[in-house]
Structure 1
Amino acid sequence: MAQTERFSNLPEYAFPRLRALLSGIQPGGEPVVMTIGEPRHPIPDFVAPIMADCIALFGKYPPNEGSAAMLEAICGWMSRRHGLEVVPDHITSLNGTREGLFNAALALCPQQKNGAQPVILIPNPFYQVYAVAAAAVGAEPVFVPATAETGFLPDFTALDEAVLKRTAIAYICSPANPQGSIADEDYLERLIHLADRHDFLVFADECYSEIYRDTPPPGALAVASRMGLSDRVVMFNSLSKRSNLPGLRSGFAAGGRTAIAQIRRLRSYAGAPLPLPAQAVSAAAWADETHVQTNRELYHRKYAVADRVLGNVPGYQGPAGGFFLWLPVEDGEDAARTLWRDAGIQVLPGAYLSREVGGQNPGKGYIRVALVADAEETEQALNRLKETIYD
């Protein structure tokens, strides 16, 4: 396949599609945007002073893999959060997880798997960079339904052996975007055993891992390490959701030494290292849990609001983690237009986060609603939403 053709079958990105869908429609109320997963809670108090103290470091080239202080802070967090004793050369810094989730496929996907075109397994619905990564490396994307019937997680174990034989990488997001489902330890163990049996890597997207109701979601790398199979997993996380710092563009990947070395090698040619002042802020953020707990409590209030307002809606399922509602509707595009026209509420049709397979799009009957505003604004908006499309 020619390089210019690799991306020809990718649908337009979700937000331009939404703008086109709502074009010419006047909002039927004070506009409330509940589409994008951009946290609006306060950033930690220590960010500005650290940035100011380190301002002169913008005059230096930063280390590509991350400063010693930042890598040590991440190692410390991995130990406290996951019980993992990770050394710095098993970690690399990233410009947010999106860069890493894409570049890791470039660095680690083989040109062939068992003499054939490699397969990359992708949950459906999914974070769209997974499909773009598959296209970039010339792999065949296999979209695995993550529906109510499967607990809103992909059942990779149900795939045909011929597909698994060609599989090079499987993406998994937990808590899931958009459904908020969490892969428990049993699920992760089954997936890691499958990866070991069929010789593929698991890319664990855990950027929502610190936003949850009660029990911290297990980490795939921690599970794999207990199984003696840590080389099977590359995990990704960032400060965007955990610390309300999406603009800092600070994330990391962690995994086996060989995998991380390959990702670091690619980044040394094609990556953009995180500026040193941002790395200093990152080190402080990974070392502190107080602001994370405060942040989580704010989401707990909104979980309670959503449960109270929407709890009697047929098919409603409050998220176990993350900050999205995955709400059942007859048709996501129709619901999005109606909400904007009649209530001034902007939501994302679920079909824009999914791919049609076999004539079915698993997101068509849903809308994604981001709980990023404060609890009062969220409650007002959800009441308007309910009155408009459910009552």
Structure 2
Amino acid sequence: MKFPERFSNLPAHVWPRLRALLDAHDGGGTPIHMTIGEPKHAFPAWVTDAIAQNAAGFNSYPPNDGSPELRGAIARWIKRRYGVEMDPDTEVMALNGTREGLYNAVIALCPETKNGQTPAILMPNPFYPVYMIGAISGGSDPILVPATAETGHLPDFTSVPEDILDRTTAAYICSPANPQGTVATHEYWASLIALAEKHDFMIFADECYSEIYRDTPPVGAMQVAESMGADRNRIVAFHSLSKRSNLPGLRSGFVASGADTIREVKQLRNYAGAPLPLPLQQAAAKVWDDEAHVEENRALYAEKYQIADRILGNVPGYVSPQAGFFLWLPVQDGEVAALKLWRETGVRVLPGSYLAQDVNGENPGKEYIRVALVAPKDETERGLEAIRDCLYSDV
């Protein structure tokens, strides 16, 4: 029996690859997990009450596009957060986690050819792995655009050659960026939107870290598009409760765009979607409507930013993140550093190369490790001190 080859040449996924690197060795102390971006702060206590109060909904098939209550809460949040009016019936769709939407976006929205050629999908490098798999699954060429210190840790889409831009159907962009924590400015978004209009491609704006920031709320893609008078169908924005509300297991995300775009996304989901159970949708609606717990959560991360700055601020090349909950720390070799940390201290971090792909024989993540600041404050502090003492003892 022959299997498809479109995924067969990909490297092992991030987490099996990390386990293969570390688990053959004993850790050097009590494990401190700083690898996966899985929030560990408490979620609102009333969430479980909301699920229980709506438990009868488990007896019904859930609405495929999201309940009216959930879509309404999402539209209200977009208005509060970005000042953009979205029709909850035609311009918003609930997702079973944003990974679903980010993966399906190419399949649902990108044509099979463009200008008689195989479509190109632009994405940052390093990147969230689902971007590449989405492109490949949609029969498109993934085009990796460097997001390095030299580019301000955001991809320079204007550097992409014209012949590739002319066959580009979409560009993935994450702001605040995973893994570097860089925030796209209004000017950056405006430049990208103008480029997309010139070459007629869509923008898949992954904004799942938008609510974890220091002082100033990151500007959003849809917000900038509205200020420019751009067609909102060109902007496809993705958000989630996973980071905002410490609810990765609730699997509540959404996609927002113009009505024409959402119609196409809904069409695919009608056949292939796995909607969120109704009691979870009802609870999620209440979470999207509440900001008090988000402010408390943001304050906890602000404390950990300060801890990281104090402990690692003297490390050459250290960049204090603008937003998100990752540190992108410079090392000589990420795999060597991650293994050394684990064997000598018990701290587990992720080699940056596992979030990137080689281009012309070079991997832009090789000389970095990604460190997640998701554990409680005291544990995070111990982990950061161990990283400093193990990897940067000479500074």
Q: TM-score range by the shorter chain?
A: over 0.9
Q: Which runs of 5+ in 1 are unaligned?
A: none
SS at match of 2:4: helix
Hey, what does 1:43 align to over in structure 2? 43
Given the alignment of the two structures, is residue 12 of structure 1 paired with residue 12 of structure 2, yes or no?
Answer: yes
Q: For 1:130 and 1:41, how far apart are their aligned partners in 2? A: 27
Q: For 1:118 and 1:366, how far apart are their aligned partners in 2? A: 31
Q: For 2:155 and 2:13, how far apart are their aligned partners in 1? A: 22
Deviation, 1:133, is: 0.5
SS at match of 1:279: helix
Hey, what does 1:370 align to over in structure 2? 372
Deviation, 1:45, is: 1.8
Deviation, 1:374, is: 1.2
**TM superposition score normalised by structure 1:** 0.99
Q: Report the number of matched residues.
A: 390
Hey, what does 2:24 align to over in structure 1? 24
Hey, what does 2:124 align to over in structure 1? 123
SS at match of 2:134: helix
Hey, what does 2:92 align to over in structure 1? 91
Q: For 1:49 and 1:149, how far apart are their aligned partners in 2? A: 48
Hey, what does 1:288 align to over in structure 2? 290
| 1:145-294 → structure 2 map (5 Å cutoff) | 145-229=146-230, 230-294=232-296
Amino acid of the structure 1 residue aligned with 2:82: H
Given the alignment of the two structures, is residue 136 of structure 1 paired with residue 105 of structure 2, yes or no?
Answer: no
**TM superposition score normalised by structure 2:** 0.98
Q: Which is further off, 220-229 or 168-177?
A: 220-229
Q: For 2:174 and 2:19, how far apart are their aligned partners in 1? A: 26
Q: Which runs of 4+ in 1 moved over 4 A?
A: none
Indicate conservation of the 8 Å contact 1:6/1:138, yes or no: no
Q: For 1:290 and 1:13, how far apart are their aligned partners in 2? A: 36
Amino acid of the structure 1 residue aligned with 2:57: L
CA offsets per residue over residues 124-176 of structure 1, 9 Å max, x none? 00000000001101101110000000000000011110010000010000000
Indicate conservation of the 8 Å contact 1:306/1:382, yes or no: yes
Q: CA RMSD for the aligned pairs?
A: 0.9
Deviation, 1:3, is: 7.6
Hey, what does 2:384 align to over in structure 1? 382
CA offsets per residue over residues 63-98 of structure 1, 9 Å max, x none? 100111111101110110000011011010101110
Q: For 1:165 and 1:387, how far apart are their aligned partners in 2? A: 49
Amino acid of the structure 1 residue aligned with 2:196: A
Hey, what does 1:323 align to over in structure 2? 325
Q: For 1:228 and 1:358, how far apart are their aligned partners in 2? A: 39
Hey, what does 2:107 align to over in structure 1? 106
Amino acid of the structure 2 residue aligned with 1:50: A
Q: Percent identity among equivalent residues?
A: 59
Q: For 2:198 and 2:306, how far apart are their aligned partners in 1? A: 42
CA offsets per residue over residues 335-354 of structure 1, 9 Å max, x none? 00000000000000000000
Q: For 1:301 and 1:162, how far apart are their aligned partners in 2? A: 46
| 1:303-322 → structure 2 map (5 Å cutoff) | 303-322=305-324
SS at match of 1:5: coil
Q: Which runs of 5+ in 2 are unaligned?
A: none
CA offsets per residue over residues 328-378 of structure 1, 9 Å max, x none? 000000000000000000000000000000111000000000000111111
Q: For 1:255 and 1:181, how far apart are their aligned partners in 2? A: 24
Amino acid of the structure 1 residue aligned with 2:322: A
